[in-house]
Amino acid sequence: MFKLITKNINNRIDSKLMKKYQATVDHLIKRINLRLLDGSEMMGWVDLIESYDNRELLAMRDKANEWKKLNLKYVVVIGIGGSYVGVRAAIDMCCGLFDHKSPQILWAHNISSSYVTELKNKLANEKFGIVVISKSGTTLEPALNFRIFRELLQKNVGISKLHKYIVAITDKERGTLHEYAKNHHITTFGIPNNIGGRFSTLTPVGMYTMILKGLDPLQILKGAKQAFKDTQDDNIYSNTAYQYACLRHHLNVGKRLQIENFIVYDPNLQFVGEMWKQIFGESEGKNGKGLYPAVSLFTTDLHSLGQYLQEGTRNFFETTLFVEKPQMDLKLKIMDNNDRTKYLNGKSLHYINEKAFEGTINAHTKLGKVDNIIIKIGTNDEYHFGYLFIWFSVAVTLSGYLLKVNPFDQPGVEHYKSNMFKLLGKK
């Protein structure tokens, strides 16, 4: 189940404006489908969803089963950006934050000395797996972490067995990591050349680790295919992804709002917010354009940001992702009234959380004059993760082209790298 609810937008878009958007959308979609716009050659994720290679799925399943026989307690996933955020979002969403079933996934996603050392110390005497994800193999953060944890693993299992404990997800034909894996007999899975990092989660970039954690890849792909099917209609009124893109554009360009605050009410969904942040921030933030993508966890952040969101600068709007029926719920049994909560006896935590959500939407919209878009999904499972991922991808494609930017490149990322390399003395 997926719903986009737009009734909580102040000064709702009238039909005249929607007709104007429809004409623009018709023009853009024709050019997108013909791959005539800048960057559209990087839309390989569309082809991937339409005809996924089942042989690759089976190969990933076989390797995951091979690792399960090794009884690994931990697996370190080494990646950054789109090589990390999406797969973590899927696992947190579907498995929860306190899942201790082996293997436990540990994330090497930055080069903080304290974080990496702590992680290394945790694995000091362990046999563990490494999933290293890098298209080129030369991106600094994963390259350094792969070196650090590869050396530790070699110490723990010996050089002759090292290759059994590593999976490399990289370019199919070339690159530093590809060559290293080939020379050391390490199992590899390929990243298609026509899919950029933030759109690669349903390739082996994310799929291998998801399968390893017991997620059902067929359900993920079923949700992805349904989202793609649901977003093929060019009519804005029936295509929710296009509605979302047009509403964001209007709120940004028409109403001059600068920030989109993406809100979740479940810590398990916080990394879905991080995935959304990367997909939209990296796709749109170019040429002095684009909304700043912020992520909030409610009700927690209502006790730190709530005052600002209610009465602060009106330069933002909100998009809330809410789960109708979570995988787990807790019904309250309150026999005394010592803390004045007996009125909640018999109610579930999800029911209370839902009322907090409804009350917040009402307060922010009616009193705070904040525009609110609501996304509702049925539950936090593989199907809905696959649906959300493709729905976001379709929406950001149109959203980027509405802003007249290429949604598939990220030239600005190279600037920090070149400065960093210069300071490090790289020649």
Active-site residue numbers?
Answer: 282, 303, 417
Q: 3-state class of 222 per DSSP?
A: helix
Residue 371 DSSP label: -
Q: Which amino acid is at 181?
A: A
Count of other CB atoms within 10 angstroms of residue 104: 13
Q: Which of 74, 220, 44, 53 is nearest to 135 (CA)?
A: 44
| Residue 168 to residues 156, 254, 332, Cα–Cα distance (Å) | 19, 46, 47
> Rounded CA gap, 49 and 346, in Å?
44
> Rounded CA gap, 170 and 191, in Å?
5
Residues 369 and 313 sit within 8 Å (Cβ to Cβ): no
Residues 246 and 402 sit within 8 Å (Cβ to Cβ): yes
Q: Which of 173, 167, 168, 221 is nearest to 193 (CA)?
A: 173
